[in-house]
């Protein structure tokens, strides 16, 4: 049986001829190991090394942060995912593998249906 998680995502689009970026709100869903980030005009999908269900439901005692690369049309995306035990949720941050690697390209969080975050309103 696969476990599904829901959450929120934000993509930071760089504005042409500007140093500013525009945040675009989206949704995050996780089905077993598959993460889908949906935004109004685009989406991103990738797989985790393992299912987050074992972490959230206590089958794993220590949870290391995950750091990995995703190949994309505009180059590599460096993704970091961490577990926040108090919220029983995961947070993720993606940065472009280029000169502006400190600026995030996207951020997301996902959680189980019984997490305290599941009570937040959906967009």
Domains held by the chain: number: 1
Tokens for 4? 């599904």
Q: Rounded to whole angstroms, how far apart are CA atoms 95 and 48?
A: 17
* CA dihedral of residues 112, 64, 87, 38 (deg, nearest 10): -50
Q: What is the tens place of the pLDDT at every residue in 24-73?
A: 999 999 998 899 999 998 898 988 877 777 666 665 555 678 888 887 66
Full domain range(s) for residue 31: 4-119
Q: How confident is the model at residue 99 (pLDDT cuts 50, 70, 90)?
A: low
Q: Rounded to whole angstroms, how far apart are CA atoms 70 and 78?
A: 7
- Report the predicted TM-score, pTM, of the whole model to 2 decimal places: 0.83
Q: Is the pLDDT of residue 95 over 60?
A: yes
Q: How many CA atoms lie within 13 A of 89 on its CB side?
A: 21
Return the CATH number at 74. 2.40.128
């Amino acid at each position: 049986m696969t476990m599904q998680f829901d959450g929120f995502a934000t993509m930071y689009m760089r504005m042409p001829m500007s140093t500013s970026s525009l945040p675009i709100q989206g949704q995050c869903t996780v089905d077993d190991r598959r993460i889908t980030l949906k935004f109004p005009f685009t989406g991103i999908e990738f797989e985790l090394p393992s299912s987050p269900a074992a972490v959230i439901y206590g089958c794993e005692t220590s949870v290391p942060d995950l750091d990995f690369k995703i190949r994309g049309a505009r180059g590599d995306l460096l993704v970091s995912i961490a577990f926040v035990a108090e919220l029983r949720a995961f947070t993720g941050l993606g940065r472009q593998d280029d000169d502006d690697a400190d600026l995030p390209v996207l951020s997301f969080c996902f959680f189980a249906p019984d997490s305290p975050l599941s009570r937040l309103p959906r967009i």
